[in-house]
Amino acid sequence: MAARFKKTSSLRYSFATSSRQAPISLPYFTENQSQLRYVASVPVATPSNSRQPAPFSTLPLSWPHKGWDHNIASQIVPSHRPPRTISDKLAYTLIRICRWGMDFVSGMPPESPGESLAGIPGLVAGSLRHLSSIRRFAPDQGWVKTLLEESYNERMHLLTFLEIYKPGLVMRALVFAAQGVFYNTLFLAYLISPKFVHRFVGYLEEEAVHTYSRCLREMDKGLLPKWTEDKSIRIPEVAVKYWGMEGRRTMRDLVLYVRADEASHRGVNHTLGNLDQLTDPNPFIEAHATENHMVIAAVRPAGLEREEVVGKQ
Ligand SMILES: [Fe+2]
């Protein structure tokens, strides 16, 4: 039987194995707050009345978004960084092939299939750089945070759209299969050439900016009435909370902010693809603390050149 676990005061918790049982008082910390001390191991408990996780909108944000200036988000445009090396050309060719494949299976909401995969590269890159740092007993040059935040941001895109459109069985099966292939392929690719993977993701995000820009154009022309006229579509609370969309709760605003996020990932990954993977610092890490690093990246669609990051060698 699942246990119930409930906080009964600021310092005491109670726990019971069924709803009919009286809660057993369990000392958790000493009563003296100035000398908080762990005094008992507490069993992990789950709510007995539901196996459903808490609604996403009620959970605290792991990486709160700093929000977008509406004018900056409106000025994002599709852009392309011409390939310069053989590796760049290979990355771009692969993206074009993937794009063709996505268009081929179109008919599904365009944002969902891509968003279900877009959260993977940052996680793979961030986790591998984290492991590399541990292996080498050396700092990671500040890359891990930005990469993991990118994967969280992409997951927020997906979870937001899934609050609006519930995926069917076919979509779930496709995502399941695609995730297995994409994750493992990226994992191996990042071990072989992280530079190639960052360039690949830079081109992937170019396509994302292109897709959302097309959505915005079509919404403005009235070609997507399900997004502009369907009164049953409400911007989910999680999106309002994440992007700070109070007062701007239209689908157009949501797409505008998601596109700006993609533009930021475009700039970040093209920048990281320009850098020495082992020695160069992440130029966006300082901005994390003081300003919105995503703005800096979004307005540099081809990324920062290495000379700008480390100076002329
Ligand atoms: Fe996304």
Q: Same domain for 100 and 197?
A: yes
**Ligand 1 geometric centre to CA of 32 (Å):** 47
Instruction: Please check if 31 is assigned to a binding site.
Output: no
Q: Same domain for 214 and 270?
A: yes
Instruction: Please check if 149 is assigned to a binding site.
Output: no
Instruction: Please check if 65 is assigned to a binding site.
Output: no
248 within some domain: yes
55 within some domain: no
Q: Same domain for 31 and 87?
A: no
62 within some domain: no
Which pLDDT belongs to residue 35? 47
Q: Which of 76, 28, 22, 80 is nearest to 207 (CA)?
A: 80
Secondary structure of residue 291 in the 3-state scheme: coil
Find tokens 């900056």 and name the residue: 72
d(CA 286, CA 149): 14
Which pLDDT belongs to residue 106? 56
**Ligand 1 geometric centre to CA of 155 (Å):** 7
Q: Same domain for 112 and 22?
A: no
d(CA 255, CA 213): 9
Q: Give the CA angle between residues 76, 81, 87 to the nearest 5°.
A: 140
pTM of the predicted model as reported, rounded to 2 decimal places: 0.81
Instruction: Please check if 205 is assigned to a binding site.
Output: yes
Query: Each residue's pLDDT tens digit in the chain (313 positions)?
Result: 444 444 444 444 444 444 444 545 444 444 455 444 444 444 444 555 666 777 776 778 888 899 999 999 999 999 999 999 999 999 999 999 988 877 766 554 555 567 888 999 999 999 999 999 999 999 999 999 999 999 999 999 999 988 888 888 888 888 889 899 999 999 999 999 999 999 999 999 999 999 999 999 999 999 988 888 887 788 888 899 999 988 888 999 999 999 999 999 999 999 999 999 999 999 998 777 777 889 989 999 999 999 999 985 5
Q: Same domain for 248 and 174?
A: yes
Instruction: Please check if 206 is assigned to a binding site.
Output: no
Q: Same domain for 137 and 248?
A: yes
Note down the domain range covering 28: 4-35
28 within some domain: yes
47 within some domain: no
**Ligand 1 geometric centre to CA of 1 (Å):** 40
Secondary structure of residue 294 in the 3-state scheme: helix
Which pLDDT belongs to residue 27? 47
Domain count, the chain: 2
Q: Same domain for 122 and 206?
A: yes
DSSP assignment of 181-226 equals: HHHHHHHHHHHH-HHHHHHHHHHHHHHHHHHHHHHHHHHHTT--HH
**Ligand 1 geometric centre to CA of 156 (Å):** 8
Q: What is the dihedral of CA 207, 212, 216, 219, to 10 degrees?
A: 110
Q: Same domain for 156 and 279?
A: yes
Which pLDDT belongs to residue 16? 44
